[in-house]
Chain A
C-alpha cells in the first residue's frame, strides 16, 4: 500500500444501526494514525490519534482500532444518530507530523 485508502467511499444507514469504516495505510515509516470527523461548513474535529500496534480508543459511541503491522485501522460507530452524519477522514503521519489523508468516508444517517 503506497497511499492512505478509505472504504467505503460513502455509506447510508438508518438511525440506530452500527457501522464501521476501514483505513489502510503504508506500514513502513509509520508514526501515528489520526481519525477526524468533518461536518459541512465546520472545522475537521480530531477524534483519535493512535500510535501503538493494537491500540484501541473509545469516545462515547465511537471507537477505533489500529494494526500497524498490516497497515489498517477500523472506526466503529455504535447506534448511529443523525448527528453522526459527516465525512470521516483518516490520516497517517510521519515524525514531522505532516498528515497524509485518505479521501474520506461520507456517512449519512437517516432518522
Chain B
C-alpha cells in the first residue's frame, strides 16, 4: 500500500516568501506529526494532530509557522515570511493512534536563500 507522501520534495524560497508544505498520511491513520530536522541535528517535534484537532503545537518555533489538517487526512505546514534559519528538512509522520509506530514520509528539503 501507499506510504506517507510529501510534496514538494525540494523547495527553494527567497527570504520573506511564504511556503506551504503538504503531507498525505497513510489512509485511516488518526495521528499526524510534523518534525523539523536542521543540518547536523536530529528531527525535532513541531506539532501533532489527532484527526482534525491540533492537540499539541508546542514545538512550532514562531507564529510564522502554522499547520492545519481540516478534514482529518491531508495536512499542510505553512511558513510565512521565511527566514534563513527555517532551512531544514520537514518530515511528516502518521500513525494509527498515538500508541502506535509512526510511519514517515521522505521529507521536504526547504532552502531559504
Given A97-B31, A98-B48, CB of A89 within 8 Å of CB of B43:
yes
- Neighbouring B residues of A101 by C-beta, 8 Å: 35, 42-44
Given A96-B48, A96-B98, CB of A43 within 8 Å of CB of B42:
no
- Neighbouring B residues of A26 by C-beta, 8 Å: none
Q: A3's closest neighbor in chain B, by CB?
A: B42
* B99 within 8 A of partner (CB): yes
The reply to whether A49 and B101 contact each other, CB–CB distance below 8 Å, is yes
**A41 CA to B6 CA, complexed, in Å:** 12
**A6 CA to B95 CA, complexed, in Å:** 25
The reply to whether A103 and B42 contact each other, CB–CB distance below 8 Å, is yes
* A102 within 8 A of partner (CB): yes
Q: Give A25 Cβ to nearest chain B Cβ, in Å.
A: 12
Given A43-B3, A44-B104, CB of A98 within 8 Å of CB of B42:
no
Q: B55's closest neighbor in chain A, by CB?
A: A96
Q: B59's closest neighbor in chain A, by CB?
A: A98
Given A96-B48, A96-B56, CB of A46 within 8 Å of CB of B103:
yes
Determine which of B35, B41, B55, B103 lies in contact with A99 in the assembled complex, contact meaning CB atoms within 8 Å.
Answer: B35
**A42 CA to B104 CA, complexed, in Å:** 10
**A49 CA to B102 CA, complexed, in Å:** 10
The reply to whether A89 and B98 contact each other, CB–CB distance below 8 Å, is no
* B25 within 8 A of partner (CB): no
Residues of chain A whose beta carbon lies under 8 Å from any beta carbon of chain B: 4, 6, 34, 36, 41-46, 49, 89, 91, 95-104
Can you name 9 A-B pairs with beta carbons within 8 Å?
A34-B102, A36-B104, A43-B4, A43-B104, A46-B102, A89-B42, A96-B48, A99-B35, A102-B42
Residues of chain B whose beta carbon lies under 8 Å from any beta carbon of chain A: 3-4, 31, 33, 35, 40-45, 48, 55-56, 91, 93, 95, 98-107
